Amino acid sequence: MSKLQQEFIQFSVDAGVLRFGEFITKAGRKSPYFFNAGLFNDGATLGKLADFYAQALLDSGVEFDMLFGPAYKGITLAAATSVALAGKGRNAPFAYNRKEAKDHGEGGTTVGAKLQGRVVIVDDVISAGTSVGESVEIIRAAGATPCAVLIALDRMERSGKDEALSANSAVQEVSKLYNMPVIPIANLNDLMGYLSGSGAGAELAQYKDAVAAYRQKYGVA
């Protein structure tokens, strides 16, 4: 686990975005932890989150020209990450889509910079890959090239229902389907490393076995 990943997990815990206990995921699984990026909901936390996104993207070495934020969460994330990148000396334009086409003014379904070149899709997590697929279609229709997906946390879980689990995670399936990397700021392995370290403290370390059991049951190889 890198310093960036460790600091991101600690930041997520401090902000109440990463919580431990008993939660039901979108897939209907009983999970010992829950990550809700929607709770990064003030200027200070959003600014810090964007800094993590920007640094993870730069550290990845992926070559890109601009950012795209799928409606709705991705809109704020892409805009904030663009600001953070500018603060690091990389002035990258961004765009986002509307859920419904606008028939007046500038019209169309996208807002912001013209989609062109190599485009990074910025979102919070990948659950089923639906928003990524929609984003890829929009970007390709504009003549641009989707080159990566940037997310906050990779849960590294096998996709599908319990009775028909896939061998791959949604992140792996998206990466394979669209032939591009998915760049997480941190993943489940980093989370396990955090819970095993001294920084977590006894209050959170107690969840290490539960998270390990969850990874054993649902985690990808």
Least-confidence region, from 18-27, 57-66, 104-113: 104-113
How does DSSP assign 19-83, residue by residue? EEEEEE-TTS-EEEEEE-GGG--SHHHHHHHHHHHHHHHHHHT---SEEEE-TTHHHHHHHHHHH
> What pTM was computed for the model?
0.92
Give the per-residue pLDDT at 82.
98
Give the per-residue pLDDT at 108.
65
Domain 3-218 part of CATH 3.20.20.150 = no
Q: What pLDDT band is residue 151 in, cutting at 50, 70 and 90?
A: very high
Q: Are 186 and 9 in contact (CB under 8 A)?
A: yes
| Average pLDDT for 18-28 | 90
> Where are the chain's structural domains?
3-218
Output DSSP code: residue 129. S
Task: Label the pairing between strands 145-154 and 182-187.
Answer: parallel
Give the per-residue pLDDT at 101.
59
Residue 105, pLDDT > 80, answer no
pLDDT, tens digit (0-9, with 9 covering 90-100), for 28-82:
889 999 999 999 999 999 999 999 999 999 999 999 999 999 998 999 999 999 9
Show which residues are catalytic: 102, 104
Q: What pLDDT band is residue 129 in, cutting at 50, 70 and 90?
A: confident
Residue 83 tokens, joined: 């600001």
Give me the residues paired with residue 154 across strands: 187
Residue 25, pLDDT > 80, answer yes
- Does residue 72 have a cis bond before it (omega within 30 degrees)? yes
Q: What pLDDT band is residue 109 in, cutting at 50, 70 and 90?
A: confident
Q: What pLDDT band is residue 162 in, cutting at 50, 70 and 90?
A: low
Using DSSP's 3-state secondary structure scheme, residue 187 falls into strand
pLDDT, tens digit (0-9, with 9 covering 90-100), for 167-195:
899 999 999 999 999 999 999 999 999 99
